[in-house]
Amino acid sequence: MDCPAALRRKYQLAVLQHQNDLTDLTPHQLQRNRRNADRKRRTWVRSWIGRRRQFGLYDQLMVELRAEDPASFTNFMRMAPAMFDELLERLVPRISKQHTFYREPLPPGLKLALTLRHLASGNKYASMKFAWRVPHNTQSLVIREVCQAIIDEYADEVMVCPSTPEGWRAVADKFLQRWNFPHTCGALDGKHVAIRRPPNSGSMYFNYKGFYSIILMALVDADYKFIWADVGGAGSASDAQIYNASELKECVEDGTLGFPDPEPLPNDNQDMPYFFIGDDAFALRETMMKPYSLRGLTNEERIFNYRLSRGRRVVENAFGILANRFQVLLTTMQQDPSTVKLIVKACLILHNIMRTRYPGLQNQLLDSPENENRDFVSGA
């Protein structure tokens, strides 16, 4: 064991070494060290966040709405209580965390409700933390986790692109029945989802409309359900560029998508191929039908454009229903493009679930062929 004199000498050497280390630091580093020392965490959880169960929206307001006013619950969550319960039951294994002595995890119901409310309202994390009593940095992790869980759980069930001639014929038959446009295997269009400018991205995400965005390219059937989507294209690209680079176009042209063989149109004997319908942004192809130019049209061409426009409005209405229900798509989203991509995909899947389980919701936004002359009643 060292004597007191030796211990004192070791202490003096340690102090001198520490002083020498400090002299090697720049003034900025010294100031940062002092600032970090002053920022030592005083509490692990803020006291008002700790009272989440007593005053948070999930444990208080949502319980009251479910028991006293289910219609307001549906308005708040953008879905009926039964739908919320179904989602929660199926997502619990994917979003549950193990209980430990370190910290109590957030309940799966709270995670799901927080995510759905963000999608429905578009509110920022910093403003939501006071009502939900969940820190904004935790919300950023929770929303990514829940959106990914929704995609993994439901994508193969509710958003399946047909791959057989029988499947595509079923889609085409509905277009003929509802919109009087035969051989249509879906309406194709793109939508710009506004985002904050990603760091070091230059003009990649800057679109012709004057804001930064990613592109949602989607194929919609006659019932306003999304059957295929490409999410994440840079906003500077055109709809035609996104489609030309997509797997959908490649599969259609090489015959692996399972399109039916050409067949005669109703009351005709000449074989015609099956196709998608789109607007002027797309090139006219054997598998892509677009309207005639608006100049010098004959009466027959005008009728053709009118019929095609009726069918093509399905995809525009689908985008409108989607954005009206999940109003985060109407805001300038502040997340990274990767997170925005997850959120948009989750919104598409939730839309398809609700169109399947509750097709009567928001039918006032839909076009309907309920006129004696078979003209559509606009819902847009």
Residues 217 and 306 in one domain: yes
Does residue 171 fall inside a structural domain? yes
Does residue 255 fall inside a structural domain? yes
Residues 146 and 174 in one domain: no
Residues 79 and 215 in one domain: no
Does residue 307 fall inside a structural domain? yes
Domain boundary, last residue among 92, 122, 157:
157
CA-closest candidate to residue 352, choices 234, 230, 263, 220: 220
Are 155 and 362 in contact by the 8 Å Cβ rule? The answer is no
pLDDT in tens, the chain (380 residues): 556 666 666 656 555 555 555 455 566 665 666 666 555 556 567 787 878 888 889 989 999 999 999 999 999 998 899 999 999 999 999 999 888 777 788 899 999 999 999 999 999 999 999 999 999 999 999 999 999 999 999 999 999 899 899 999 999 999 999 998 999 999 999 999 999 999 988 899 999 999 999 999 999 999 999 999 999 999 999 999 999 999 999 999 888 888 988 888 888 888 899 999 998 889 898 999 999 987 888 899 999 999 999 999 999 999 999 999 999 999 999 999 999 999 999 999 999 999 988 776 656 555 555 554 545 455 54
Tokens of 326: 């999940």
Q: Which structural domain range is residue 326 located in?
A: 159-334
Are 182 and 232 in contact by the 8 Å Cβ rule? The answer is no
Residues 116 and 99 in one domain: yes
Residues 89 and 142 in one domain: yes
In this structure, are strands 226-234 and 213-220 parallel, antiparallel, or unpaired? antiparallel
CA-closest candidate to residue 78, choices 114, 117, 110: 117
**Phi and psi angles of residue 186, each rounded to the nearest 5 degrees, phi first:** 145, 155
Does residue 242 fall inside a structural domain? yes
Residues 242 and 276 in one domain: yes
**Phi and psi angles of residue 323, each rounded to the nearest 5 degrees, phi first:** -70, -30
Are 61 and 54 in contact by the 8 Å Cβ rule? The answer is no
Q: Helix (H, G, I), strand (E, B), or coil: what is residue 272?
A: strand
* Full-model pTM: 0.82
Q: Helix (H, G, I), strand (E, B), or coil: what is residue 56?
A: coil
Residues 63 and 195 in one domain: no
Spatial distance between the Cα atoms of 177 and 182, rounded to a whole number of angstroms: 8
Residues 164 and 283 in one domain: yes
Does residue 254 fall inside a structural domain? yes
Concatenate the DSSP letters of all residues of 198-263 into one string: PTT-TTTTB-TTSSBEEEEEEEE-TTS-EEEEEEEEETTS-HHHHHHTSHHHHHHHHTTT-PPPPE
Does residue 360 fall inside a structural domain? no
Spatial distance between the Cα atoms of 118 and 378, rounded to a whole number of angstroms: 30
- If one counts the domains in the chain, the total is 2
Residues 312 and 167 in one domain: yes
Q: What is the DSSP letter of 278?
A: -
Domain boundary, last residue among 157, 192, 210:
157
Q: What is the pLDDT at residue 269?
A: 84
Residues 182 and 273 in one domain: yes
Residues 186 and 276 in one domain: yes
Does residue 25 fall inside a structural domain? no
Residues 148 and 224 in one domain: no
